[in-house]
Amino acid sequence: MIQLYQFAPAFGLPNASPFCLKLETYLRMAALPYALPPFNMRELQAAPKGKMPYIVDGTRTVADSSLVIDYLKASYGDPLDDWMNAEQRAVALAWQRLLEEHLYWAVVYTRWIEPDGWALTRPAFFRALSAPLSWIVPPLARRGMAKALHSHGMGRHSREEINALGCSDLTALADFLGDKPYFMGEQPCSLDAVAYGFLANLLWVPLESALKLHAQKYPQLERYCQRMKSRYYA
Ligand SMILES: N[C@@H](CCC(=O)N[C@@H](CS)C(=O)NCC(=O)O)C(=O)O
């Protein structure tokens, strides 16, 4: 059976990492059985690309949620996306990139850099550490995130600019979803695993960030997450 390596649940969600929640949701959507080995820091150190999630499937280890999904499609078929034409695939990929390569960094800023976010993130992500690691690791990890934000470019903006950029992504997502049940229409597809991974991680975490408050202005986003949850996590 596929072994899914990811962080421990946090914030009342199956995973507080949008990429981990994306992959677990994909496995459920595609009805692929998987097991969740208990998380410990050694797994993150052993991660082939230094990030979660990754899977072990028999003799194969595959890292990166999107590359894992490509591998799963090639190995077990593509029940979720095989109905889409080339234009729909192009649109879905563009939304995925908006979520993963842009909105993600605004979320990272609110969780790791803004003081209210850090006050929640630190205990939620590092509770398993005991002293002295619990004093040393969290500030180092936070510094690493600040560096990554700066390298990406998002971290060079002011707080107001970052929130405005993230909010415009959320407005676009809400406008595109509109009254549709799923992002690409009547039928769910792998983009919905990505969207759920990110939107649940904004709407359902106890951090009242500007991004969350903005997302709450669009009731279709909450309805969408509830729809995904009741269909795939009942
Ligand atoms: N492109 C990767 C991104 C994964 C990613 O950024 N994972 C973060 C958690 S959201 C992580 O493991 N961070 C740990 C670290 O950077 O040390 C994917 O799709 O899997």
In the block, tokens 């205990």 appear at 123
Write phi, then psi, for 3 (nearest 5 degrees).
Answer: -100, 120
| pLDDT at residue 173 in the model | 98
| pLDDT at residue 42 in the model | 78
Q: Determine the atom of ligand 1 nearest the C-alpha atom of 141.
A: 17
Tell me the per-residue pLDDT of 143-155, one tens digit each, with 9 for 90 and over. Answer: 999 999 999 999 9
Write out residues in the chain with pLDDT < 50, as ranges. none
Yes or no: say if 225 and 203 are a contact pair by the CB < 8 Å rule: yes
| pLDDT at residue 127 in the model | 86
Yes or no: say if 1 and 37 are a contact pair by the CB < 8 Å rule: no
Number of helices (H), then strands (E), in the chain = 11, 4
Ligand 1: residue whose CA is nearest its atom 12: 51
User: Would the CB of 64 count as within 6 Å of ligand 1?
Assistant: yes
Ligand 1: residue whose CA is nearest its atom 1: 64
pTM: 0.97
Ligand 1: residue whose CA is nearest its atom 15: 51
| pLDDT at residue 184 in the model | 98
User: Would the CB of 110 count as within 6 Å of ligand 1?
Assistant: no
| pLDDT at residue 117 in the model | 97
Q: How far is the CA of 50 from the centre of ligand 1 (A)?
A: 8
Q: Would you call 126 exposed, middle or buried from its count of C-beta atoms within 10 A (0-12, 13-18, 19+)?
A: middle
Tell me the per-residue pLDDT of 151-210, one tens digit each, with 9 for 90 and over. Answer: 999 999 999 999 999 999 999 999 999 999 999 999 999 999 999 999 999 999 999 999
| pLDDT at residue 44 in the model | 79
User: Would the CB of 17 count as within 6 Å of ligand 1?
Assistant: yes
**Using CA atoms, how far apart are residues 68 and 65, in angstroms rounded to an integer?**
5
Q: 2 Cβ partners below 8 Å, 6+ apart?
A: 27, 32, 33, 34, 35, 55, 56, 57, 72
User: Would the CB of 52 count as within 6 Å of ligand 1?
Assistant: yes
Yes or no: say if 183 and 191 are a contact pair by the CB < 8 Å rule: yes
| pLDDT at residue 66 in the model | 98
Q: How far is the CA of 179 from the centre of ligand 1 (A)?
A: 31
